[in-house]
Amino acid sequence: MRNPVIIALDFPGKKEVEAFIDPFVKQKVDPFVKQKVDPEEQQQIWVKVGMELYYQEGPQLISFLKEKGFRIFLDLKLHDIPTTVQKAMNRIAVLGVDMVNVHAAGGTEMMKRAIEGLNSGSPGARRPLCIAVTQLTSTSQEMLQSELLIKESMESTVSHYANLAKESGLDGVVCSPLEVPHMKAVCGEDFLAVTPGIRLSGDNKNDQIRTADPAGAKKLGSDFIVVGRSITGSVDPLETYMTIQKEWGIFHETTNC
Ligand SMILES: O=C(O)c1cc(=O)[nH]c(=O)n1[C@@H]1O[C@H](COP(=O)(O)O)[C@@H](O)[C@H]1O
């Protein structure tokens, strides 16, 4: 079964989140919207809570979203010395979120200790998936070379960071859909590719550089797509979510449509 689209809740506070999720909750929308499916097969909607929202609302917002039945990717992109990251991950695990992330640039020791922190904070429970940001989707090949002084291609750099993440015991990486085939060839099909930088054709790219549309991301092998402004900034977010789910292929693999 495909993973549903992850909606990036990039809002300043809970008030805006409540207004946004209201139609989703009211219609009890699931990723197979408008299709009759066996309730057993229904999946929960995934949302991503990032720095802006979490720094404003804190752990209470996570409890609120969990009570509403959402699955949660807590995107705080940890990047610090290993001990600090381990201790922070122990606290994050206690929140009971489904997915968390670090920057692979923190190195293998930091990533291993992130997993240790998550394990120690999830006794008896399944630890959250932990993925590593390889290169932000706002970084261009030109920036990679001129600002970060990385001479390799974007694809090789992403795959190298992904390999370090795999060696450190992580579950996958964040990259753009464009690097997924190379990354999977290096790390294997089972190593997760979570890909932001998703735009519908005609959408403003804003600050994203390495982008693809949902169908393109599917073709390139992404496991999860993360979509923010294309949904949150649209006139009818629920309708746009459904359109993206369809392009992403949810219907295709679960119904006869
Ligand atoms: O880790 C992330 O989620 C992330 C990594 C990355 O390389 N690029 C990236 O855009 N993101 C996040 O994905 C979301 C993309 O939002 P939109 O550009 O509005 O679709 C934002 O919340 C970003 O913080």
Where do the structural domains in the chain lie, given as residue ranges?
A: 6-254
Ligand 1 nearest atom to the CA of residue 230, by list position = 20
- Copy the structure tokens of residue 145: 């070379």
With a Cβ cut-off of 6 Å, ligand 1 is lined by 8, 10, 50, 75, 77, 101, 133, 136-137, 174, 196-198, 206, 208, 226-230
pLDDT 10s digits, 54-79: 999 999 999 999 999 999 999 999 99
Contact of 46 with 4, CB cutoff 8 Å: yes
pLDDT of 27? 72
CA of 40 to the centre of ligand 1 (A): 31
CA of 199 to the centre of ligand 1 (A): 11
The phi-psi region of residue 126 (left if phi > 0; otherwise alpha if psi is between -120 and 50; otherwise beta) is: beta
Question: Shortest CA distance to 183 belongs to which of 133, 129, 112?
Answer: 133
Binding site annotation covers 84?
Answer: yes
Total count of residues recorded for the chain: 257
Residues 6+ apart with CB under 8 A from 218: 247, 248, 249
Ligand 1 probe mutation, 11, 48, 226, most atoms within 8 A of CB? 226
Which superfamily does 6-254 belong to? Aldolase class I (3.20.20.70)
Tell me which amino acid residue 71 is. R
Residues of the chain where predicted confidence (pLDDT) is lower than 50 = 32-41, 252-257
Report in angstroms the alpha-carbon separations of 187 from 129, 172, 182: 17, 9, 9
pLDDT of 253? 39
Closest Cα to atom 4 of ligand 1 = 196
